[in-house]
Amino acid sequence: MNSDIRKIQFTGRSTYILSLPKKWIEEMNLKAGDHVSISRGSNNSLCITPEQDNRLQDVVSEVSTYVMIDEGPNTLKRKIVSMYLSGYNLINLKAKSSRIQPNQREAVREVVRRSLIGTEIIADSSDIITIQVLLTLPELSVNTAVRRMFLIASSMHRDALVALREKNYDIAKGVIRSDDEVDRFSLYILRNLVMSTNNERILQEIGLKNPSDCLSYRVTVKSIERVADHASRIASKSMEIQSSIPSIIIEKIERLSNSALEVLTSAVEAFLRRDYNLADRIADKSDNVLNLEREIMQFLDSLENRTIDKQEINAGIKLILEDIRRTVEHASDIAESAMNQTVGEIIKVEKK
């Protein structure tokens, strides 16, 4: 049983005592004289936790699954990612038949290398592969991971515009490769959010205040991930446009891009700093950027002497403008998450 009802007793002049079930103490390998910490949760719950050295021991968990001989590499990758997101620290992949196939083994190595932060393959034989998560929770807080995600995504966006202006395919390819790094941080954060919804102690370890914060962080993480995706799409389109783009159009796109990044930066800062007022001001900034996008679209439509080359350029540019606009929309989602997360604090200030 994971719950029990005990009566609070009063002793002396200022102390209340509460007994704990003997079975629980024995199962947790505790004894008389051991130190525990007592914390009050956001929902007025009380959490009793063993001393610091043992605080994360019960987080370790192991799972095993069979790898079928006809199981495709992509299916296997998705299975591994799902187990990683579920919070398992030790993942055993066992061959259902005599051995794990070479393409399956390569898929495991690829997903560990490209997608899972803090993981290593610690056992690799013909019939079993073991993946272990080596990164402990306090080593990389959720806020730190979100900020790194944002820095990579915003850098991708800027580089994608450089690739467009200079017709630099190497920079464009570098932007596309960077998308994997953003996805790695995304999976790491989502894994911690899943674990913290079941354990308030983990919530505190990763730097969050309330269980409700998990929803706001999930929205923010997915929004930054989508910003990176749009940067990759801009980079891809920059490689597809073969004709030279007039400098006046490039200047207008760069102006729009800089405004979009300004909104995104403000949104992420408002979210991480829990600044309701800064997040609230982002709505007006977003409207200004969207108005600028409409002006550029009208400018493209007004161009005369439509040759085939100009039609192809305009079609590609309009798709890039859409990606920039979507970046602003995702920034607005982050700002909204910041306001939802901090509105309670604003209400408390007003009450005072």
Spatial contact of 108 and 121, defined as CB atoms under 8 Å apart: yes
CATH of the domain at 53: 2.10.260
- pLDDT at position 306 is 56
- Residue 349 in domain: no
Listed as own residue / partner, the contacts of 143-146 with beta carbons closer than 8 Å and 24 or more positions apart are: 143/207, 143/272, 145/185, 145/188, 145/189, 146/185, 146/189, 146/217, 146/220, 146/221, 146/224, 146/268, 146/271, 146/272
* Domain shared by 251 and 105, yes or no: no
- pLDDT at position 138 is 58
- pLDDT at position 27 is 77
- Residue 242 in domain: yes
* Domain shared by 157 and 253, yes or no: yes
- pLDDT at position 302 is 78
- pLDDT at position 6 is 85
Number of domains in the chain: 3
Per DSSP, the chain holds a count of helices (H) and strands (E) of: 10, 8
DSSP letter at 106?
Answer: H
- pLDDT at position 60 is 55
- Residue 350 in domain: no
- Residue 29 in domain: yes
Determine the length of the chain.
352
- Residue 351 in domain: no
How confident is the prediction along the chain (352 residues), in pLDDT tens digits per residue?
A: 567 888 888 887 778 888 888 888 887 788 888 888 887 766 677 878 776 544 444 455 889 999 998 899 999 999 999 999 998 999 999 998 878 999 999 999 999 999 998 899 999 998 999 999 887 655 678 999 999 999 999 999 999 999 999 999 999 999 999 999 999 999 999 999 988 887 777 887 788 877 888 999 999 999 999 999 999 999 999 999 888 888 999 999 999 999 999 999 999 999 999 999 999 999 788 888 889 999 998 888 877 555 545 666 788 899 999 999 999 999 999 999 999 888 877 776 555 4
* Domain shared by 70 and 187, yes or no: no
* Residue-number span of the structural domain to which 13 is assigned: 8-57
- pLDDT at position 308 is 47
- pLDDT at position 139 is 67
Spatial contact of 178 and 155, defined as CB atoms under 8 Å apart: yes
- Residue 3 in domain: no
- How far CA 301 is from CA of 251, 296, 306, 329, in Å, comes to 17, 9, 10, 23
User: pTM of the prediction?
Assistant: 0.80
CATH of the domain at 213: 1.20.58.220
